[in-house]
Amino acid sequence: MIRYKTRGDFVTMESLKRYVLLSLFLFSIANPLSASVTHYSIPEEMKEGSVVANLATDLTLDIKTLNQRKMRLDIIANKKYLDVNKETGELYVVEKIDREHICNTKSSCYIKLEVILESPLRIFNIEIEILDMNDNAPQFRRDAIHLDISEVTPRGERFSLSNAVDPDVGSNSVKTYHLSESEYFNIEVQTGRDGSKFAELILTKTLDREQQAVHNLILTAVDGGTPARSGTASVIVHILDTNDNPPTFDKENLSVNLMENSPIGSLVVHLNATDLDEGSNSDISYSYSLYTSEKTQETFNLNPATGEVTVKGMLNYEDFRIYDMEVIATDKGATSLTGQCTIKILVEDMNDNHPEISIKSFQSPVTENIELETVIAVVSVSDKDSGDNGIVDLHVPDNMPFKLRESSDNYYELVVSEPLDREKVPEYDITFTVTDRGSPPLSDNETMTLELLDVNDNVPQFPQSFYTIRVMENNAPGALLSSLTAFDPDLHENQYLVYFIIEKEIANTSMSMLFSINPENGNLYALKTFDYEIEKEFLFHIEARDSGSPPLSSNVTVHIIIVDQNDNAPVIVSPWRAQGSVVEEKIPRSTDKGSLVAKVIALDTDSVHNSRITYQFLQVTDATLFSLDQYNGEIRTMRMFSYRDPRHQRLVVVAKDNGEPALSATVTIKLTTMETAVKAYSDMTEEPLEYDIFSDINLYLVIGLGSVSFLLLITILVTIVIKCQKPKPSKAAPPSRNSVISERNSTIADSTLVSNDAYWYSLFLAETRKGKLVVRQPLPKGSRYIVSSIPRGTGLTDTSDSAASTLQYPK
């Protein structure tokens, strides 16, 4: 028994359903291998996962037992496009089904399945009908269909066209054809024995290849689906030619004028005949007709392939003046067609006498400053011919500063029309050209050379208006710095140049004392050795003067820049020490990690690049105890002192500049640790460091304090002596302070320095560690400061002015 099911509903009636189910049940009991077929119909191209039917419901199976009975689905002789859900019993699409791929062009398409269950064994046959959808457009076997049709083909002639193929079947296959609009062609749709549709092309109007050689048509095939699909192909109709057009000349009657004495081979006329046909039907040959005289054929040659008529014999106006000829053009078709042309050749008299020119007067050379309208030459012209052939015209080149002025019949004067400049054009080749008015015109010419004499009208010129010359310091006296050469376009003595240095004094020194220039070639020399640290640049002028009358001159600015060499080694100014001596410093043994021990300051008088200084340890007793900042020279502790560390630490610091090669200076610092607790102060303050004398009583402390007290006492006595010898200072300065400004930059102990802000912080640290008080006071102009170091305990705080009013802190 067969059950039909569409995609959603049963085809059988509800009353019949109970009967069918009961019959299936009884039949399955009697025969477990059931031969009944359940039929379903689905369209092709259903989406994956789409449900076709519920097999459990349709086959009256218990959903709960499907897994236990090992329900499976076998597809007979096909790819597995469908599968069954064992949980729900639904038959669903696993992969899209392409009907054309499975059944090709068959009118009906089925997929057969077997549903197999065990315990007890049951087999159900399922048949799925795949319904066709219009998912394919008609397609021609070739994109372009070429047809060759003769232009004499009669109307109503039919031509077969390739048919289109549509993989779909039934109403979705090709239904009809359409042709693009054409006044020459139409189509008629025919039906083949197998029901396929094809089209025939019908000629509806007589063709003419000369009007249109190719017809481009579009053939469209349309199927019967909804919506309809279509495919197109190009129909290209080539019209084949027939010899139905005779050759035609551009002009059937020609008149040609030809001068006598024309050379043999000269072209008289180029005849051109055209044929609208193609191929051999349009190939043309030229020939004389029987009406052309032998004299004409002997005098002129006709090229049968090109139609060119050329001179074959000598032409003489006095012997023969008019020639008549008739030329025939014939094509090469099967039935030849012809066209003809009549030509009249008129021989004209020739202008065979050349005009003559005569130079009566010519003035050369002349000075380049000659006045305008001055007469340079007088010229006469003549021609033996008559009429227009005897009328002559005289002219000179337009690009020259001269013009012709007619003085009398056939006499002309050449005059200056523009200012002359020998430096631009030293001489002129003036060509006098005389031409008659014949046809063709004849001419003659004469060339004269005009030389120009120089005058001193150009000043010397330097290639540059400003020269920058870089000179390395420590140069050798007499060294060549540069060659400053000027150019004067004049000639002879007007061109000879002399060079001078325009006198200018700098710091009571004349430029001629520093530099020298060769008056003949402009070579500039240095007369002394320059030192960048003293003289950095010079600015002066050099003059170039010619030897003309009157002489002309010009000058140029020269900027000499002295380039620095690394010829100065760094000088260590802090901590100060005598030449070759060791700097001794004392620091508490309880100094914290990161504390500033000392600061090395070095100066280099070279330029910024060469004077850039970096610091590094050359020798150090314990590399783990101290660190050195390579840029500012600060020496700090990397950790606290331990009882194992030696009491004496030796540090050798090298200060190296940035020159090439680098120069350096070294300082040796001997650090001695003391068992004295020091009250901590910030390294950035300017307040004095006060030591706690009674923090730890031991022998070393007593000895240290005694030494410091002795040194302080000596310092106080020296200060009192100096104070008594000097006038009483103003209230603005402390009474015990040394007011003398020392220019010794190499010392900072017990003296006053002229200091900039760069020294202030370093000097403060260096002096306060020695137990001294540092004071900074600005000079009257405010550009520098007086920095003083005063031993502690000198009675500064006991003066009438407080310490706060004496100390000058940096701003």
Per-residue pLDDT reduced to its tens digit, 79-118: 788 888 888 888 888 888 878 778 877 778 888 888 888 8
Question: Would you state the pLDDT for residue 372?
Answer: 92
Indicate the fold that domain 466-563 takes in CATH: Immunoglobulin-like (2.60.40)
Task: Kindly report the pTM of this predicted structure.
Answer: 0.38
Assign domain 571-674 to a CATH class. mainly beta
On whether the CB atoms of residues 571 and 746 are closer than 8 A, the answer is yes
Indicate the fold that domain 248-348 takes in CATH: Immunoglobulin-like (2.60.40)
Question: Would you state the pLDDT for residue 607?
Answer: 77
Residue 692 CA to residue 677 CA, distance in Å, equals: 7
Location of structure tokens 């006296």: 477
Calculate the dihedral angle through the C-alpha atoms of 358, 359, 360, 365, rounding to the nearest 10 degrees. Answer: 180
User: Which pair of tokens denotes residue 227?
Assistant: 């919506």
Q: Which residue has the higher pLDDT, 810 or 408?
A: 408
As a CATH number, domain 356-436 is 2.60.40.60
Backbone φ/ψ region at 413: left (φ over 0), alpha (ψ -120 to 50), beta:
beta
List of E strands, 163-229: 164-165, 174-179, 185-191, 197-203, 214-223
Please state the rounded mean pLDDT for residues 756-769.
Answer: 45
Q: Residue 278's pLDDT band (boundaries 50, 70, 90)?
A: confident
On whether the CB atoms of residues 242 and 335 are closer than 8 A, the answer is no
Please state the rounded mean pLDDT for residues 724-738.
Answer: 43
> Which part of the chain has CATH 2.60.40.60?
38-127, 139-240, 248-348, 356-436, 466-563, 571-674
What CATH superfamily is the domain 139-240? Answer: Cadherins (2.60.40.60)
Would you say residue 544 has pLDDT above 90?
A: yes
Question: Would you state the pLDDT for residue 318?
Answer: 66
Residue 534 CA to residue 537 CA, distance in Å, equals: 10
Question: Would you state the pLDDT for residue 326?
Answer: 94
Regarding beta strands 509-510 and 90-93, do their DSSP bridges make them parallel or antiparallel, or are they unpaired?
unpaired
**Phi, psi angles (nearest 5°) of residue 145:** -115, 120
Would you say residue 304 has pLDDT above 90?
A: yes
Would you say residue 761 has pLDDT above 70?
A: no
Please state the rounded mean pLDDT for residues 31-56.
Answer: 78
Would you say residue 723 has pLDDT above 80?
A: no
Nearest to 179 by CA among 223, 221, 148, 142: 221
On whether the CB atoms of residues 741 and 575 are closer than 8 A, the answer is no
Would you say residue 204 has pLDDT above 50?
A: yes
Question: Would you state the pLDDT for residue 752?
Answer: 34
As a CATH number, domain 38-127 is 2.60.40.60
